[in-house]
Structure 1
Amino acid sequence: MTDGPPPGGGVPGEPSGVPPAAPAADAPAPAVGRVGRWRDQALALGWLVAAWMLLWGDVSWGNLAAGLLVGTAVLLFFPLPPVTFGGRFRPRALLVFLATFVAELVSASLHVAAVALHFGYRPRGAIIAVPLRVRTDLNLALTAEVISLVPGTLILDIDRARGVLYVHVLDVRGPGDLTASRERVLAVERRIVRAIGSPDEVRRLDLEPTERRNP
């Protein structure tokens, strides 16, 4: 059962706390050369293959081949606007992100299983609006994908212009759960940006909302 939108966030409209359209600092990156385009396509293919294997829940050569085939078909027949990678890889932060993601995956799976096995209990859901601090297309896509892979949370909509994710969360028992869910989404964004974001994007994580809108 899904409740109505909670105060300060919810279904599309004008939820409080949602910043206006993204500033020029978060505008799409300028065009890149052929090498840059191939690099971006390779990164996109890698993420598609990883998502495919995670969704199947089986790491095997067959799933790897199928993921490569499906990912290549998606990039060829359903081309999306180019999302240029302008950040830098930080191995230590990337390991922290991966380890935390696996831990949250296990914890959320156990929680959802416990809810499913709790006979007679009817979990309540809610839809929350979470404004991200780094509103690039790449960060929106990666954060939304990671959130959707964790059981109990699902991305329903993305406001690209405002950099807002609309997330359905399961088993909401009070306002504290809504706050904790927003903090979890922002924590995922923080770990992604610290792992592969540019220095400017990392700096923006700690700015107040007014400073982010008026750099």
Structure 2
Amino acid sequence: MTDGLPAGRAAGGGEPPGGPPPADPAPDAPVPPVGRGGRRRDQAVALGWLVAIWVLLWGDLSWGNLLAGLVIGAAVLLFFPLPPVTFGGRLRPGALLVLAVTFVGELVTASLHVAAVAVRPGFRPRGAIIAVPLRVRTDLNLALTAEVISLVPGTLILDVDRDRGVLYVHVLDVRRPEDLTAGRDRILAVERRIVRAVGSPAEVRQLSLEPVDRRDHP
């Protein structure tokens, strides 16, 4: 079962009431140059996320895991440098706490659900692939949203369309069409919490926009 993207603006033209929609930021806009201090800050943020992901993958918060995460994270940044992903957002402690608490809650709930599906005699769950266009199309938001989704049991990132800002996600135990809509809404809710926690004011304003079908409307 495969679910397509949400329908975009109806064919035939015409602007919606209230004037034209806000312009979608160009994904290929040139990245402003980053100074030495900005590069160090971005590398420190990237190292912190790599360490956090390492600890989450091992599932054990210990000094050994923290040290191993620091060493491996530093090696990844040194020997496998990625294109620069600048952080122009703002850290909001309250929203960060909401993101962390909600993530732990979803992690526990999803783990129990997957466990119940696994031990149910004779039950064969159906999966589906859904395409979810994000509202904030920056590399950082795509990466963070994809990582958080992949860490929750029952959802798995299959592909990322960087140019169009679309995540292709496999979801487990789909029984009716409403489950597809619910899965998409959960992913957009993850994006909203991430942007509110670390996004810029302009990115937070983009959350009020409805996702569009970017396959037909680049």
Q: Do they fold alike, i.e. is TM over 0.5?
A: yes
Q: CA–CA distance in 2 between the matches of 1:28 and 1:86?
A: 14
* Equivalent of 1:169 in 136, 154, 171: 171
Question: Within 5 A, what are the aligned runs for 1:121-140?
Answer: 121-140=123-142
Q: CA–CA distance in 2 between the matches of 1:108 and 1:27?
A: 38
The residue that corresponds to 1:147 in the other structure is: 149
Contact 1:27 / 1:136 at 8 angstroms: preserved in 2?
A: no
Q: CA–CA distance in 1 between the matches of 2:124 and 2:162?
A: 33
Contact 2:27 / 2:138 at 8 angstroms: preserved in 1?
A: no
Contact 1:26 / 1:136 at 8 angstroms: preserved in 2?
A: no
The residue that corresponds to 2:200 in the other structure is: 198
Question: Which runs of 5 or more residues in structure 2 are unaligned?
Answer: 10-23
Q: Which amino acid aligns with 1:91?
A: P
Q: CA–CA distance in 2 between the matches of 1:173 and 1:209?
A: 24
* Equivalent of 1:34 in 36, 40, 44: 36
CA shift in 2, pair 1:79/1:110, >3 Å = same
SS of corresponding position for 1:165: strand
Q: CA–CA distance in 1 between the matches of 2:186 and 2:165?
A: 16
- Give the CA deviation at 1:30: 1.0
Question: Within 5 A, what are the aligned runs for 1:86-105?
Answer: 86-105=88-107
Higher helix share: 1
Contact 2:127 / 2:172 at 8 angstroms: preserved in 1?
A: yes
Contact 2:142 / 2:165 at 8 angstroms: preserved in 1?
A: yes
The residue that corresponds to 2:162 in the other structure is: 160
CA shift in 2, pair 1:173/1:110, >3 Å = same
Contact 1:172 / 1:178 at 8 angstroms: preserved in 2?
A: yes
When the two structures are superposed, what TM-score results if normalisation uses the length of structure 2? 0.86
The residue that corresponds to 1:12 in the other structure is: none
Q: Which amino acid aligns with 1:190?
A: R
* Equivalent of 1:46 in 45, 48, 51: 48
Q: CA–CA distance in 1 between the matches of 2:38 and 2:122?
A: 55
- Give the CA deviation at 1:207: 2.1
Q: Which amino acid aligns with 1:37?
A: R
Q: Which amino acid aligns with 2:48?
A: G
Q: CA–CA distance in 2 between the matches of 1:187 and 1:53?
A: 24
Q: CA–CA distance in 2 between the matches of 1:121 and 1:194?
A: 39
- Give the CA deviation at 1:78: 1.1
- Give the CA deviation at 1:111: 0.5
Cα RMSD, aligned residues only: 2.1
Q: CA–CA distance in 2 between the matches of 1:104 and 1:138?
A: 22
Q: CA–CA distance in 2 between the matches of 1:27 and 1:200?
A: 15
Q: CA–CA distance in 2 between the matches of 1:48 and 1:188?
A: 19
Contact 1:128 / 1:182 at 8 angstroms: preserved in 2?
A: yes
- Give the CA deviation at 1:28: 5.7
Structure 1 residues 120-171: Cα deviation after superposition (integer angstroms, max 9, x where no partner): 1111111100000000000000000000000000101000000000001011
* Equivalent of 1:64 in 39, 63, 66: 66
- Give the CA deviation at 1:208: 3.7
- Give the CA deviation at 1:209: 4.7
Structure 1 residues 81-102: Cα deviation after superposition (integer angstroms, max 9, x where no partner): 0000001011111100110000
Q: CA–CA distance in 1 between the matches of 2:54 and 2:136?
A: 26
CA shift in 2, pair 1:137/1:203, >3 Å = same
